Amino acid sequence: MVFKKSKHQSYTPEQKAKATEMALEVGATAASVKFGIPKGTLRSWAHKARRKAEDTEPEVRPSASDTTESSPKVAKRYTPSQKAEILEHAAKHGPAKTAEKFGVSRWSIREWQRKVRLAAEGKGSSPTSGPDPSDIEAQRDREILNEWHRQPGLGPSQIKNQLRRKGIKTSTSTVRRVMEAAGYRPPKRRSRPHDQRFEAVRPNHRWALDFVQRYINRTSTFTLILLDDHSRFVVGHGVDDAERADMVIETFMDAVTRHGKPEMVIHDKGGAFWSWRGISRFTELLTELDIEQIPAEHKEWNGKVEVFNANIQKELFDAHRFYDLAEMKRRLASHLYWYNHRRTHHALGGLLVPADRFYGRVEEVMARIEAGAGADIQTDLLDLRDRVLELFKVISVNGRPEVWLMGQRVLPAAK
274 within some domain: yes
Q: Is the pTM of this model over 0.75?
A: no
Same domain, 211 and 94: no
Task: Report if residue 196 sits inside a domain.
Answer: no
The answer to whether 354 touches 231, Cβ cutoff 8 Å, is yes
In a domain, 397, yes or no: no
Burial 178-190 (b: 16+ CB within 10 A, else e): bbeeeebeeeeee
C-beta of residue 165 within 8 angstroms of C-beta of residue 374: yes
Mind listing the pLDDT tens digit for each residue in 78-108? 778 888 889 888 888 888 888 888 888 888 8
**284-300 pLDDT per residue, tens:** 998 899 999 888 887 77
- Structural domain boundaries, residue 94: 13-120
pLDDT at 384 over 60: no
Q: What is the pLDDT of residues 206-226, one digit of tens each?
A: 999 999 988 888 888 999 999
Inside any domain, residue 174: yes
**pLDDT recorded at residue 406:** 66
267 & 172 share domain? no
C-beta atoms surrounding 177 within 10 Å = 15
Does position 403 have pLDDT exceeding 50, yes or no? Answer: yes
Same domain, 232 and 176: no
* Judgement on whether residues 289 and 238 belong to the same structural domain of the protein: yes
- For residue 15, name the pLDDT band (cuts at 50, 70, 90): confident
Q: Which residues of 342-361 are buried (b: 16+ CB within 10 A; e: fewer)?
A: bbbbeebeebbbbbbbbeeb
pLDDT computed for residue 341 by the predictor: 92
Question: 240 with 156, same domain?
Answer: no
The mean pLDDT of 158-180, rounded to a whole number, is 86
Question: 264 pairs with which residues across the strands?
Answer: 206, 292
pLDDT score of 277 more than 80: no
Q: Which residue in 181, 226, 179 sits closest to 204, CA to CA?
A: 226
DSSP-assigned letters across all residues of 325-382: HHHHHHHHHHHHHHHHHT---GGGTSS--HHHHHTT-HHHHHHHHHTTS---HHHHS-
Model pLDDT, residue 225: 92
Q: Is 209 helix (H, G, I), strand (E, B) or coil?
A: strand
